[in-house]
Structure 1
Amino acid sequence: MNKIKVAIADDHKIFGQSLGMLIQAVSDFELLFVAENGLDFLEKLKAAPAPPDVALLDIDMPGMNGIELNRQLHRNKSDIKVIMLSVHLEEELITQVIDDGAASYLAKNCDKDDLIKAVRMVYEEGFYINQLTLRALTLAAKNRNKSPKKLKPVHETLTDRERDILDLICKEYNNTEIAQILFISVRTVEGHRNNLLAKTNSRNTAGLVLFAIRHELFEMPT
């Protein structure tokens, strides 16, 4: 079984080391390195034997913080899936880092089981949205919808088939499962998913879920 390769960036050494020990204790995880900030992360990334599948990034770090590191990883078209960790729980901040390409956002005092689940879900499905993030995204979407934002009308953006696939993506079905449910090929699903990413200007699956919530196309169960 291939292990999920994880890298960490946090300037608080005790927290970073403790988080590293937690990752090492999970049988299907492999810890690649622990960095002290964004710049250190990029240096260690160059020297790593393989890129991480998932990166756990603290938002507040000197030199280069997690927000800028997340942006830089996605500007470089990295396949690394990012989980942001922070004590800041403001709705706009959470929404912004998801817009920037993060696959999940967790409070630094989250339960360890939630963290482990997030790493696995992000690796397997491309996103993980817990109740904290869901509330933030929903509130931010409502606030945006109250103001005259220039969001492109959904009915001009998505076909009925694309809406069906977006709904199933939000319900955490993978491409193979979606193909079986809709009686189409996996390649067709992949094509529709790519079209959704392009039409919605989303960086990844988490961005598609954010788009669906913003436009009230999907309401995640509580």
Structure 2
Amino acid sequence: MSEKIHVVLADDEELFRVGMSYILSRDESIKIDYEASNGQELVAYLAEASQLPNIIVMDIKMPKLNGVEATKRIRLEYPGIGIITLTTYNTKPFIRNMIDVGASAYLVKNSPPEKVIHTLKQVFYNGFYYDNHVMQILNERAASLSIAGEKSVFDENFLTPREKDVLELICKQLTTQEIADTLFISPRTVEVHRKNLLEKTGVKNIAGLVIFAINNDLVPPIIID
């Protein structure tokens, strides 16, 4: 039996939560642990949960504690939880803001169910999932920062050539096994490089690593097929 993906939903629209819970639960690898009606309720649940979820699917606009502030708190206290933003807002400022505060993926509510499930699994297995639209926005921001002279400058030896190879493939959202096959190295070696990259960049997870790489021009612009 495959490993279960434990999910918590946070959205103030009950009808939407019920519908999303039904859609996700149809996949036998996904288990809905809890449904929160706002960010405050979500944070309270996490504080008392005997088992933390793997993924939180969260709206932005919620009463008492919105999705942005809830994401900030959860990233600090529970960095291992993947956060998928699922919202009606689809403008660049909202996308950039949620990615900046720690969202592992960003989807709009009119996304096809199969895309939501695919994104959820990508975040579970790879730590993040940014589709081509989100990647384009991140690449545009990186270019604007470069033009403005605001990007970080590193020594040439900041990353080894192999670390750069691994980092670029991580940003292309390849799995550990796919990176190993591409570079003709073992999965264990990939994990060592991944750990070194996290330590060198000072970020806590793979989503943060991708943002760091793009913002600091450590990888070429990424296009997702």
TM-score normalised by length of structure 1: 0.88
In 1, Cα distance between equivalents of 2:190 and 2:30:
29
The question of 1:34 aligning with 2:51 is answered no
The answer for the alignment partner of 2:219 in structure 1 is 217
Change in CA separation of 1:173 and 1:135 when aligned onto 2, cut-off 3 Å: closer
1:130-209 equivalences in 2 (<5 Å): 130-153=131-154, 155-209=156-210
CA deviation after TM superposition for structure 1 residue 72, in Å: 0.9
Partner-residue secondary structure (3-state), 1:26: coil
What's the offset of the Cα at 1:205?
1.4
Alpha-carbon distance in structure 2 between the residues aligned to 1:31 and 1:185: 34
Percent identical pairs in the alignment equals 34
**Shift in Å at residue 216 of structure 1?**
6.3
Aligned equivalents of 1:77, 1:31: Cα separation in 2: 18
**Which range moved further: 34-43 or 69-78?**
69-78
Q: 2:65 corresponds to which residue?
A: 64
Aligned mates of 1:14, 1:6 — CA distance in 2 = 17
Q: Distance in 1 between matches of 2:15 and 2:114?
A: 20
Greater Cα offset, 80-89 or 153-162: 153-162
TM superposition shift of 1:32: 0.5
Unpaired segments ≥5 residues, structure 1: none
Q: In structure 2, what residue type is equivalent to 1:24?
A: S
8 Å contact from structure 2 (residues 176, 187) kept in 1: yes
1:3-49 CA-to-partner distances (Å, cap 9, x unmatched) read: 11110101111112211121222221100011011110122224444
8-17 or 147-156, larger mean C-alpha shift = 147-156
Inter-partner Cα distance in structure 1 for 2:176 and 2:132: 24
Distance 1:196 1:91, change over 3 A: farther
Q: In the alignment, residue 219 of structure 2 is paired with which amino acid? A: L
**C-alpha distance in 1 between matches for 2:178 and 2:151:** 34
Offset of 1:98 from its aligned partner?
2.1
Q: Deviations over 1:107-150 (max 9, x none)?
A: 12211111010001100111111122122212222222221204
CA shift, 1:199, in A, is 2.8
Q: Which moved more, 1:16-25 or 1:168-177?
A: 168-177
State the Cα distance separating 1:80 from its structure 2 match: 1.0
Do the aligned residues in 2 keep the contact of 1:90 with 1:136 (CA within 8 Å)?
no
CA contact (8 A) 1:100 1:203 kept: no
Give the secondary structure class of the aligned counterpart of 1:84. Answer: strand
Q: Compute the displacement of 1:167 (Å).
A: 1.6
Asked if the contact 1:91–1:139 (Cα under 8 Å) also holds between the matched residues in 2, the reply is: no
Contact kept in structure 1, 2:131 and 2:224, CA below 8 Å: no
* Structure-1 residue corresponding to 2:16: 15
The aligned length equals: 222
Residues 132, 223 of structure 2: 8 Å contact kept: no
Q: Give secondary structure in 2 for the equivalent of 1:155.
A: coil
Note the aligned Cα RMSD (angstroms).
Answer: 2.2
Alignment of 1:89-168 (within 5 A): 89-153=90-154, 155-168=156-169
Inter-partner Cα distance in structure 1 for 2:72 and 2:155: 27
